[in-house]
Amino acid sequence: MNYLTFDITAFYFKLQIQAPRFSEFQQIKFFKMNEENIYFIKVDDVTVSSTVIDEYFQCDLEKCKGACCTIPNAYGAPITFEEANILVDIQEKLYKYLPEKHIQILQKYGPYEVHKGFYHTRTFEDKECVFVYYDGDIAKCAIEKAYLNGEIDFRKPISCHLFPIRKIHFGNDVLRAEFLSICEAALSRGLDSKMPVYEFCKESLIRLYGKRWFDKLKQIINQLKR
């Protein structure tokens, strides 16, 4: 069985130092996991936390209102260098979906910023992502809207697509689920529907690692559950 012995203290310390924290953001609470019950498995070169395997999650936009796109923070979603360049190329195609105040930010400053070597989407007034538009009172992603309308071939940054899974590099890729208080409705809905995190994130995991990898993940999980 592909269990992995792991230094969980060092793992969580690395997560803490990589994530920017600001006073407003501290109002968003993390659901604390019982670290004694957390285990890890290895799927090829990817380490997967039991939070991805055993916990349930299913977004409920009618209740959360897209809060993950509007978390108060000086920096937006983490993105890769390649994604930053894609956003530069496509930003003008998104203007028709965006509020004027966001368009002005994009035109003046561009779609991303770099902090301590890490790339992030730009935010508006240290809160919502600059690519947010509102459908009634629900925050939605203009990038994804353009993609679903067949106007671009980039769905959205992989970190957004993976949420609530977070990926860091700790010798190899490490995946864990991060549960915020703003996602309480998603946790409740996921529990009701028995939707595990890895199934909720199936599309994004296949996008990142391929279908063969995802099938192998499910095979290992099925063995664990026997």
CA angle 140, 12, 3 (to 5 degrees): 100
Q: Name beta bridge partners: 132.
A: 141
**C-alpha–C-alpha distance, residues 214 and 210, integer Å:** 7
Please give the model's pTM, rounded to 2 decimal places.
Answer: 0.83
Q: Is the pLDDT of residue 169 over 60?
A: yes
Higher pLDDT, 136 or 13: 136
Q: In what order do the strands lie in the sheet with 78-79?
A: 78-79, 118-121, 112-115
Return the pLDDT at 25: 37
Q: Is 128 exposed, middle or buried (0-12, 13-18, 19+ CB in 10 A)?
A: buried
183-189 average pLDDT score: 94
The percent of the chain in helix, strand and coil, each rounded to the nearest 5, is: 50, 20, 30
